[in-house]
């Protein structure tokens, strides 16, 4: 009988199909966005020399790039509610959204490579690109809320 529970759970998921609960979909992608923001904040503090954690920069850069890679996937399913600041245009102009997501991924990969190479100029340039890619997508696809 103890085996029954997982079976019932799997069956329930199968019935639910791709219609995941909207509030969970929204919370998950907001958590992902906040993770990006957290790593950006840590990276900025280290690069400005406000904290003595230079040895942690590469880990933040890799985590930023790894998390950025999920952006397209976590927004694929259309989900909107009053807690979301996502604009419906994401799903009517998906190509542009996907392009912005790829730009973020490319810029954060370039930043991680520059950190690994300890190339200060490339680090600053790539960080500028990362920041611009966050802003470009937010300007087009996020309400101010």
Which residues contribute to the site for ligand HEC (CB under 6 A)? 26, 29-30, 33-34, 36-37, 40, 71, 84-86, 97, 100-101, 104, 130, 133-134, 137-138, 141-142
Q: Which is nearer to ligand HEC, 80 or 122 (CB)?
A: 80
Q: Which is nearer to ligand HEC, 85 or 122 (CB)?
A: 85
| Closest of 27, 4, 7 to residue 15, by C-alpha | 7
Residues 65, 68, 58: CA angle, nearest 5 degrees: 20
Q: Which is nearer to ligand HEC, 31 or 119 (CB)?
A: 31
Min dist. Cβ of residue 67 to ligand HEC (A): 9
Min dist. Cβ of residue 9 to ligand HEC (A): 27
Q: Which is nearer to ligand HEC, 42 or 71 (CB)?
A: 71
Rounded CA-CA distance 82/143 in Å is 12
Extract the runs of DSSP E, i.e. beta strands, from 22-87: none
Contact present, 110 and 122 (Cβ < 8 Å): yes
Min dist. Cβ of residue 7 to ligand HEC (A): 33
H-state helical runs in 52-93: 57-68, 71-75, 89-92
Min dist. Cβ of residue 5 to ligand HEC (A): 32
Contact present, 127 and 111 (Cβ < 8 Å): yes
């Amino acid at each position: 009988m103890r085996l029954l529970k997982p079976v019932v759970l799997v069956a329930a998921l199968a019935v639910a199909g791709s219609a995941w609960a909207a509030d969970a979909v929204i919370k998950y992608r907001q958590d992902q966005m906040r993770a990006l923001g957290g790593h950006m904040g840590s990276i900025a503090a280290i690069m400005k020399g406000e904290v003595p954690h230079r040895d942690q920069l590469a880990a933040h850069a890799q985590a930023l790039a790894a998390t950025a890679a999920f952006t397209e996937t976590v927004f694929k399913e259309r989900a909107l509610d009053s807690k979301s600041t996502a604009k419906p245009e994401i799903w009517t102009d998906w190509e542009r959204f996907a392009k912005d997501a790829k730009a973020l991924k490319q810029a954060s990969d370039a930043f991680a490579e520059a950190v690994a190479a300890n190339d200060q100029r490339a680090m600053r340039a790539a960080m500028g690109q990362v920041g611009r890619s966050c802003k470009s997508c937010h300007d087009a696809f996020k309400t101010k809320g």
